[in-house]
Amino acid sequence: MKSKRNIQHFFVHLVLLIGVGITAFPFIWMVLTSFKTAGEAMQIPPTIFPKQFLLDAYVQIVSALPFARVYLNTIISTLVTTVVQVAFCSMAAYGFARIEFPFKNAIFILLLSVLMVPGQIFLIPQYLIIQKIGLLDTIPALFIPNLFSAFGTFLLRQFFMSLPKELEEAALLDGCNRYQIFGKIMLPLVKPGIVSLVIFTAKFAWNDFMWPLIVNTSPKMMTLGPALSTLQGQYTTKYPMQMAGAVMAVIPIIVLFFIFQKQFIEGVAQSGIKG
Amino acid sequence: MADGKVKAGVPKRRAGKRQKKDWIAGYLFIAPVTIGLLIFYIWPFVQNVWFSFNDVNKFNISTFIGLQNYAEMFQDSEVWSTFGNTLKYVICTVPVGLFLSICIAALLNAKIKGTSIYRTLYFLPSVTMAAAVSMVWKWIYNEKMGILNTAIRAAGGEGHGWLTDPKTALFMIMIVGLWMSVGYNMIILLAGMQGISKSYYEAAAIDGAGPFAQFFRITIPMLTPTIFFVMITSIISGFQVFDVVYMMVGKTNPAYAATQTVVMLFYRKAFDYGYKGYAAAISILIFAAIMIVTVIQLIGQKKWVNYD
């Protein structure tokens, strides 16, 4: 009986490991290629491991594009988007979850309707707004529309609604005003929700592609995604350079993921439970 | 509720003042998001609908032309072919993705060691930048020097221009899409499986049901709400594929026409050629298609989704 179970487990692990191999291979290949010379990468048949682990491709990419600048743009855009969006969303979420005021539900439903519409619908007018206020090809263009999120508001509202009402009533009777209650009592209690939203937003902002591609077209103002596309066009056969760019583009989020993997995975796992 | 009313009844005048203060506080709290969404999403939605009835030229001057964009769209072979490619993408990736993610979730739901390490590794592709990993896959698929063809040649086969052959290119893109999404969906399905009460399995085991019978008679039926959720979200994101196609297939690629999705067409029309009115109409068509498919799903779910 026990040996039968062991054999079963062996096969389960075998299948899962094959899956892990397929999942991990592109990452491994990306890293290995990035340490080769262009000549070695194109050699037929190719080497699996680089003959020597060279940093040439990384040096080349930093000097070829305004890569440092692009990196900085992506960091700034991601930070601003995340901090401001989470701040705005938590405020609005508290307001919608806990305070009564006229037209509350009507406003909330109007905002939620944004979630039902695919993003392409907004792109042309958003672009024209940014153009009209003269911000095309600037850093603010990268993040302005992303500062406001219906999804984040909805997500955090759920967290505020799950808190007991008594907490707030007690504080109100003690003479605290709404702003104090929000900052000192409620906000610390929805920390898990805030962490989820921070992770989600940071990942989205870092990986975003179409919007930065549209608004910022000069190489100095790009973010990583569109810059990689330019790189691919300019250095068609410099595969180690392309892979070095890819490595540098995915590393920050992968590091973030390994630090917060529990929160990353739980945030996603919960998304299906209510659905 | 009743409790609150009694309390409010005692200091009546102060309650009124407090209520007004509360209104102001409420509006202040929601103001940034509400104003931002109105300016950057809700008003643009209205504008976009208006643009779809206009000819918007390169200087963004629009002229009302009624339904002309829509009429043109239905005769535009590019619209049909990109829609066809998108549908192909959705029809292939959604069932295959569901199948793979359910299988992996089921294996991880068995009592084995290392579940959390597997979860982490399978989830990894979904956090990475699509633009970056597309470049890696393009390199893997490379006709002359790619590792895929090298492996095939080493096994005695012949290399193939995976991304340049119109017959295979879209499938290769689907593989990348699946690679990025299977782990993500697996996590949602696994959470659903872990939410199924153990007592069902215990009762079934007493009745002599083996693991397969348990899987098909308990796990799958109990999981249908989660499967439905994953299906809907996968279909919606499948309709909007962009990054991977943009990165992997250039304009000079012979497989260009066979791989362009409808969002790619939208992007080219609006921002390469500057036909913003026409592109707006295309975006409305994408929206309509997603709505129709979603409504059909919501009606169809009554037949197979279990809400107990």
Domains, in order of start, for chain B:
2-51 (no CATH), 71-304 (1.10.3720.10)
| B196-223 mean pLDDT | 91
Are B125 and A23 within 8 A, CB to CB? yes
Give the nearest partner residue to A209 out of B130, B135, B286, using CB atoms.
Answer: B130
Q: Name the residue in chain B with its Cα closest to that of A175.
A: B18
- Is A147–B36 a contact, with Cβ atoms under 8 angstroms apart? yes
> Quick one: pLDDT band at residue B45, thresholds 50, 70, 90?
very high
Query: What percent of chain A lies above the pLDDT cut of 70?
Result: 98
Q: Where residue B5 falls among pLDDT bands split at 50, 70, 90?
A: very low
Q: What is the pLDDT of residue B61?
A: 83
ipTM of the complex: 0.93
- Asked if pLDDT for residue B215 goes beyond 50, the answer is yes
Taking CA–CA distances from B26, the nearest residue in chain A reads: A95
- Position B277 confidence tier, pLDDT thresholds 50, 70, 90: very high
pLDDT score of B13: 52
Cβ <8 Å between B39 and A102:
no
Give the model's confidence band at B4: pLDDT under 50 very low, under 70 low, under 90 confident, else very high.
very low
Would you state the pLDDT for residue B7? 45
pLDDT of B20: 87
Cross-chain residue pair B131–A269, CB shorter than 8 Å: no
Please give, rounded to a whole number of angstroms, the shortest distance from the CA of A115 to a CA of chain B: 10
Per-residue pLDDT tens over the stretch B180-209: 999 999 999 999 999 999 999 999 999 988
Higher per-residue confidence, B6 vs B199 = B199
Q: Tell me what the mean pLDDT of segment B8-25 comes to.
A: 70
Q: What DSSP line would sit under chain B, residue for residue?
A: -HHHHHHHHSSHHHHHHHHHHHHHHHHHHHHHHHHHHIIIIIHHHHHHHHHTTEEE-TT--EEE-TTHHHHHHHH-HHHHHHHHHHHHHHHHHHHHHHHHHHHHHHHHHSS-TTHHHHHHHHHGGGGS-HHHHHHHHHHHH-TTT-HHHHHHHHTT-----TTTSTTTHHHHHHHHHHHHHHHHHHHHHHHHHHTS-HHHHHHHHHTT--HHHHIIIIIHHHHHHHHHHHHHHHHHHHHT--HHHHHH--TT-TTHHHH--HHHHHHIIIIIS--HHHHHHHHHHHHHHHHHHHHHHHHHHHHH----
Of all residues in chain B, the one with the smallest CA distance to A268 is B188
Nearest-CB residue to A117 (from B45, B104, B229): B45
Domain range annotation of chain A: 25-273
Retrieve residue A223's tokens: 């973010």
For A17, the token pair is: 């490991």
Q: Contacts of residue A257 in chain B, CB cutoff 8 Å?
A: 123-124, 127
Are the beta carbons of B121 and A23 separated by less than 8 Å? yes
Chain A residue with the nearest C-alpha to that of B275: A124
The confidence score (pLDDT) of residue A268 equals 87
- What pLDDT was estimated at residue B308? 67
Question: Does A7 or B6 have the greater pLDDT score?
Answer: A7
State the pLDDT at residue A219. 92
Q: Which residue has the tokens 């893997």?
A: B140
How high is the mean pLDDT of chain B?
91
Quick one: tokens of B100?
């793979």
Q: What is the mean pLDDT of residues B132-158?
A: 94
| The pLDDT value given to residue B14 | 57
Name the stretches of chain A with pLDDT < 50.
Answer: 275
> What was the pLDDT predicted at A22?
96
Shortest distance between the Cα of B104 and any Cα of chain A, in A, equals 7
Residue B9 clears pLDDT 90, i.e. is over it: no
Instruction: Find chain B residues with C-beta within 8 A of A4's C-beta.
Output: none
Is A249's CB within 8 Å of B37's CB?
A: no
Q: Is the domain defined by A25-273 classed in CATH 1.10.3720.10?
A: yes
Q: How many Cβ atoms sit within 10 Å of the Cβ of residue A217?
A: 14
